[in-house]
Copies of this chain bind each other. A is one copy, B any other.
């Protein structure tokens, strides 16, 4: 009773099903793959696999399809992470050229990932906790409006408009910015609250109410940096693989738009030894995602530090091999670019 053949059968079932999107039977299996045994033998193996819960038959007289568990074993034990094709690598290299600012970098990345995988791609904004304050600027916009701008070591630029009680001149505002810059330089964004009183005492009395307002704004900016965000691309691909997802693409889109769900999922997911995190079907523990799988990888961190993830969301019936390779390559590529500068 060769145990290895069973795995071979499972592999064949997954591959065929992924390709044809139809339940696969014993006859077709021996024909398409060079298993040197008869259909009857395969049937026995399939019966075993079914007992183990790795495959299931939608109807008595239909072939078998992999269960979530079946995909899981396939992913864990069988499939190899495929190397990237030349074309894919080339596509990635064009990315760096259009790398303007930090945000659009992420945006380009997620688009490319969506294109490469033909699926919905998502990327998490990097956690900001390790970033430090690089510079703070206060610019007058109108007599009673000022824009507070915080520049972080990660290259991210945050802004917030504040309303001032008094009309303050451009110069004075600018000075406030300088004070804030000096006082808070290199401070971790995660260490809150700010020493607002100390900051206020650094400026002459007439500016103090204004300083209070602006320090408050800075604090709000830093505060808001804690809630993560997600960028998404390729939702149209969802529709394309619509047949795989039943008529239920509505709920899926909703779940994706509801960034909270995805964020929690992404942060919960733990990387395996290959540097990938995968959740299949019910493993997502979210009802509207039972027919989808999430493949993700961390980026931007050197071993250990808590990092943000990027990945794709697609039907459980997806080509795991190439998806996994694309996601991992993308994560590595982005990490490299980000660390380079």
Contact = CB atoms under 8 A, between A and B. Distances in A.
A100 interface: yes
A253 interface: yes
A23 interface: no
A135 B341 CA distance: 24
Query: DSSP class of A's interface residues: helix, strand, loop or mixed?
Result: mixed
Contacts of A79: none
Copies in the complex: 2
A242 interface: yes
Contact of A155 (B99, B141, B253, B254): B141
Interface in A194-253: 220, 224, 233-236, 238-240, 242, 247, 249-250, 253
Nearest to A248: B239
Interface residues of A, number: 42
A151 B174 CA distance: 13
A226 to B, nearest CB: 14
A166 to B, nearest CB: 15
Interface of A: 99-102, 134-135, 137, 139-142, 144-145, 147, 149, 151, 153, 155, 157-161, 163, 220, 224, 233-236, 238-240, 242, 247, 249-250, 253-254, 256-257, 341
